[in-house]
Amino acid sequence: MCKYTFRLLPAFFFLLFVAMELQAQTNVEALIDKVEPKVIEWRRDFHEHPELSNREFKTAEKIATHLRNLGMEVHTGIAHTGVVGILRGGKPGPVVALRADMDALPVTERTPVPFASKVRDTYLGQDVGVMHACGHDSHMAILMGVAEVLSGIRDNLRGSVMFIFQPAEEGAPPGEEGGAELMLKEGIFDILEPEVVFGLHINAQLDAGKIRYKAGSLMAAADEFKIVVHGKQSHGSRPWSGVDPITVSAQIILGLQTIVSRQVDLTNEPAVITVGKFSSGVRNNIIPEEAEMIGTIRTFDTTMQRDIHKRIERTAKMIAESAGATADVHIKRGYPVTYNNPELTRKMLPSLFKAAGEDNVLVTKPRTGAEDFSFYALEVPGMFFFLGGKPHDVSEFDAAPHHTPDFYLDESGFKLGVKALTQLTLDYMGME
């Protein structure tokens, strides 16, 4: 063999490598195109047969069967109904975790689609309609599609993928544990420890075909509070002979609103304090002995979170004391801040550009909603983003919000969800 042939060999192998990579990319795109109708079919099936938190038994069975049919190692019964599928690639590399949530809501559906839910169940002792009114049906279907696509290139996969199908994202029923926190407590990251975790959430106010993301604090921490005001019962015609807990509670409710508007530096991060329920009394002419209010606290910064908790307790107790009443304040921490690791987000942003086109990837403001994906991102670097599900001919203001009977999704956006999670996985593995 002449010396010129030796000189040409590196170039030949480089071109061969490029050709193989282009062929692999073409195969992935073909697999995504092929799975799209299945994703829509799966989503419609989940939508028509929703199940409430920690009760996703049939849903879990469908998912587990699909993953087993793809030849995966499948773990079931985690956190009651959770399913984890492990896809081990043919080549060494990192472990990437992908997560979808499974539960529906106690909402009676009103959308005029042929696969609308007619399911009813019992929630907190009441007979309720059940609906996928937050898009978790689409999350499951999209992740099942990603599982099928990546299984199709298993031999060339440079690493392993953990597919997490999680129950009870909307919160476990009273007296039960559930969701991401319980899945971690029961050791899913002991099965296979991922380097990173990715997730998405459909957004009914964002055009199908678009993505929104934010580095750092994306969604709020969600804490609960309960304030019980103790007064002195008396006849409604003689308020001076007692201590009216309703009037005191009204002053506390107004005082709580001044914490955010007048006491917290909102140039740092936003915050919200909302009283969602108030109860007291039994009839019109009795000043009751007690009043109770419950509500939510949303914060994006742990220092602000601690400060606001202290201010809520001080405000309630001091206002009550000023009127001769007392107040018991109970604050329960809930979901942490959903935090996108800045370095991971910077590294993976080109993957979203490749999936959606750079013009279709937008930066979002912080969202005061909460997500228990946050628990996974406390364990390993995480990245969470919003996927558009709004029809283009509907304005953002006319689109029905999440958690409502008219919640509706444009199914044409699901393919981008499959493409984005697939692209993130392959690029993180170095298969761009």
Q: Are residues 16 and 139 in the same domain?
A: yes
Out of 269, 301, 335, a domain closes at: 335
Q: Are residues 421 and 396 in the same domain?
A: yes
CATH of the domain at 313: 3.30.70.360
Residue 4 resides in a domain: no
Residue 347 resides in a domain: yes
Q: Are residues 362 and 314 in the same domain?
A: no
Q: Are residues 275 and 410 in the same domain?
A: no
Q: Are residues 296 and 401 in the same domain?
A: no
pLDDT along the chain (432 residues), means of 10: 54 47 72 98 98 98 98 98 98 98 98 98 96 98 98 97 98 95 98 97 98 98 98 97 98 98 94 97 97 98 96 98 98 97 98 98 96 98 98 96 98 98 98 62
Out of 311, 335, 359, a domain closes at: 335
Residue 302 resides in a domain: yes
pLDDT digits (tens, 9 = 90+) for 16-73: 444 445 455 679 999 999 999 999 999 999 999 999 999 999 999 999 999 999 999 9
Q: Are residues 205 and 239 in the same domain?
A: no
Q: Are residues 265 and 293 in the same domain?
A: yes
Q: Are residues 330 and 343 in the same domain?
A: no
Residue 3 resides in a domain: no
3-state secondary structure of 346: helix
Q: Residue 229: which residues within 8 A CB-CB, separation 6 or more?
A: 245, 248, 249, 252, 290, 291, 292, 293, 316, 320, 325, 326, 327
Q: Are residues 294 and 416 in the same domain?
A: no
Q: From CA 134, how far away is CA 386, in angstroms rounded?
A: 12
Query: What are the start-end ranges of the H helices in 102-197?
Result: 136-151, 179-185, 188-191
Q: Are residues 209 and 248 in the same domain?
A: no
Residue 5 resides in a domain: no
Q: Are residues 110 and 246 in the same domain?
A: no
Q: From CA 272, how far away is CA 300, in angstroms rounded?
A: 10
What is the count of structural domains for the chain? 2
pLDDT digits (tens, 9 = 90+) for 62-121: 999 999 999 999 999 999 999 999 999 999 999 999 999 999 999 999 999 999 999 999
Q: Are residues 190 and 175 in the same domain?
A: yes
**pLDDT reported for residue 10:** 56
Percentage of the chain lying above the pLDDT 70 cut: 94
CATH of the domain at 14: 3.40.630.10
Closest CA relative to residue 132, chosen from 402, 401, 418, 412: 402
Q: At residue 337, what is the residue type? A: V
Residues annotated as catalytic are 335, 411
The model's pTM:
0.90
Structural domain that includes position 93: 10-219+338-428
pLDDT digits (tens, 9 = 90+) for 184-204: 999 999 999 999 999 999 999
